[in-house]
Amino acid sequence: MARERTTDAAVDAHPLPDHTHDFEHNHKPRRVRKLALLLAVAGGALYLVRRNQRRAEIEEGIWHEAPSS
């Protein structure tokens, strides 16, 4: 059996919508993605600052406790 071809008249009679209702509610707004990215970057920066402060405190403690020669 041959496949039925659609004609231009058939396409014009039932045009496809520009967007569907489901698609409209399934995508995330750009604002939410920006906020998530901002929170991730801020969390990473906070982690690095605290880690460096802990390392500095440990190193400072080692130097202060070292015996003088």
Which CA distances in Å does 62 have to 6, 41, 55, 56?
81, 32, 11, 10
Chain segment 5-55, per-residue pLDDT in tens: 666 665 566 666 555 566 556 666 899 999 999 999 999 999 999 999 998
Report the predicted TM-score, pTM, of the whole model to 2 decimal places: 0.47
The two three-digit tokens of residue 30, written as one number:
């750009």
Rounded to the nearest 5°, which phi and psi values hold at 66?
Answer: -70, 140
Whether residue 62 has pLDDT greater than 70: no
Segments making up each domain of the chain, as ranges? 28-69
Report the pLDDT value the prediction gives residue 22, as an integer from 0 to 100. Answer: 60
Give 58's pLDDT tier (boundaries 50, 70, 90): confident
